[in-house]
Amino acid sequence: MTELIAVALFTLLAVISPGADFAMVTRSSYAQGRKAGLAAAVGIALGVQVHVLYTVLGIAVIISQSPTLFLGMKVLGAGYLVYLGYQSVTNTRRISLDGGTACAANVTQALRTGFLTNALNPKTMLFVISAFTQVVQPGSPLAMNFAYGAFMSVAHWLWFSLVAVFFSSTALRKAMIERQMLVDRVIGVALIGLGLAVAVTGMR
């Protein structure tokens, strides 16, 4: 029971801390509507499972002991964040409140972007590895480890679904769309800044 509470608190703190996932869900929700925002939240939850899978299977040990491999993952994740930020900063396509409703293609794109943003995010990688090395007891049953991983994914899905619902509300979307250029620039700069921080900051 104590272990479960520790995992829950650890996950809660990680989920609500602002980062690339938050910026990306905000962008999808206000620009493409609620369905896209919720799809992005699902993508993030699926991305968490990538980190859970290689951590539970022990591949995380190889990553942590290989500076070159870890650096490569950092650069890849950072590059993707900078790419998303650049797209937002340079976006010239105007969004309309009526035309922003997500079609099937936009929902699929939001799902894919949410998945890649999280799966390539070194912050999530370190969170999952830390959770299993500092909170979960060594020798825990494999089924229990995957259950903890499922809890982490569900927590991410619930939180970012709430974020999507909030930023896709009609009144807030209208206000953000009226200031689209500023909003896109702020989100883009935030993503680029996060990407650069990942690239240049030494992570422990």
pLDDT in the model for residue 67:
77
Chain mean pLDDT for the chain: 85
- Whether the predicted pLDDT of 163 surpasses 50: yes
- Whether the predicted pLDDT of 192 surpasses 70: yes
The candidate with the shortest Cα–Cα distance to 150, out of 77, 87, 56, 68, is: 56
CB-facing half-sphere around the CA of 203: CA atoms within 13 A: 23
Q: In this structure, what token pair is assigned to residue 71?
A: 């650096």
pLDDT in tens, 8-51: 887 887 888 888 899 999 999 998 899 999 999 999 999 999 99
pLDDT in the model for residue 37:
94
* pLDDT top residue among 166 and 17: 166
- Whether the predicted pLDDT of 169 surpasses 90: yes
pLDDT in the model for residue 203:
46
- Whether the predicted pLDDT of 118 surpasses 60: yes
Specify the pTM: 0.82
DSSP collapsed to 3 states, 69-91: HHHHHHHHHHHHHHHHHHHHHCC
Question: What CA–CA distance (Å, rounded) separates 17 from 113?
Answer: 19
pLDDT in tens, 90-114: 988 887 766 544 567 789 999 999 9
pLDDT in the model for residue 6:
80
Place of tokens 């790419």: 83
- Whether the predicted pLDDT of 1 surpasses 70: no
